[in-house]
């Protein structure tokens, strides 16, 4: 779970960097998309898909194990543990919402670009048209705001998932855990801030 999570952190960072190229105009974003279409990058798509599937499957398995261990009797106290964060207690729900929006995101972009390229479809959206595809959707206020709400959910998922991943691989002493929690908050906040800036940039009519 931790290794697949850290792998997805790296992907999300690269994905956010590529999206930031939208702010530099069509030509720069096109160059980024053409780089992503290189064979050396394309072969990583199955690896990325496997990472997602492993992360999701293992998360579901852990949630089921926790419910099974609890049994039919709930917690004796109606109060949640004060030693865990709200995000930690709701990672399955947060992850489920993130997954639903990932599916929506794939239908918006991946299915019209990378999937069509893989299938050799005649209606493939090439790199030159990717900028228009993305910006047209982001100028739709309903989709734009829905994505911003999703970023908020993703923020909670990332802030807990970051330090929890390091804890799982053994970095869980009293010295490093508080530091990793702070780093996780800063890291997630920067990513979500970048994505939100992109949305607001096109929502308010900027860009080509």
Sign of the torsion formed by the C-alpha atoms of 180, 184, 186 and 190: positive
Nearest one of 46, 38, 52, 63 to 10, comparing CA atoms? 52
Q: How many domains does the chain have?
A: 1
Tens-place pLDDT, residues 146-155 = 999 999 999 9
Tens-place pLDDT, residues 62-73 = 666 766 666 555
| pLDDT of amino acid 165 | 73
Return d(Cα 142, Cα 172) in angstroms, integer.
Answer: 41
- Report pTM: 0.76
Tell whether 208 is covered by a domain: no
Tell whether 78 is covered by a domain: no
CA of 59: how far to CAs of 65, 83, 168, in Å?
Answer: 10, 21, 13
Nearest one of 127, 125, 145 to 137, comparing CA atoms? 145
Low-confidence ranges of the chain (pLDDT < 70): 1-5, 40-42, 45, 58-59, 62-64, 66-85, 87-88, 113-128, 168-173, 208
Tell whether 119 is covered by a domain: yes
Tell whether 36 is covered by a domain: yes
| pLDDT of amino acid 77 | 45
Range of the domain at 12: 2-73+85-203
| pLDDT of amino acid 76 | 47
């Amino acid at each position: 779970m931790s290794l697949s999570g850290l792998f997805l952190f790296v992907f999300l960072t690269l994905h956010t960097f590529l999206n930031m190229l939208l702010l530099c105009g069509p030509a720069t974003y096109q160059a980024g998309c053409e780089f992503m279409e290189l064979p050396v990058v394309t072969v990583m798509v199955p690896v990325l898909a496997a990472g997602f599937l492993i992360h999701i499957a293992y998360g579901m398995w852990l949630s089921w194990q926790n419910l099974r261990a609890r049994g039919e009797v709930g917690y004796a106290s109606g109060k949640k543990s004060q030693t865990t964060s709200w995000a930690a207690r709701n990672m399955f729900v947060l992850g489920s919402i993130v997954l639903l929006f990932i599916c929506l995101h794939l239908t918006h972009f991946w299915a019209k670009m990378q999937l069509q390229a893989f299938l050799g479809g005649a209606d493939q959206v090439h790199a030159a048209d990717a900028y228009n595809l993305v910006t047209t959707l982001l100028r739709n206020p309903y989709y734009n705001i829905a994505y911003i709400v999703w970023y908020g959910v993703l923020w909670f998922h990332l802030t807990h998932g970051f330090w929890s991943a390091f804890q799982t691989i053994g970095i869980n002493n009293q010295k490093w855990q508080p530091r990793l929690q702070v780093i996780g908050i800063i890291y997630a906040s920067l990513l979500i801030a970048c994505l939100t800036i992109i949305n607001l940039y096109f929502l308010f009519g900027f860009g080509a």
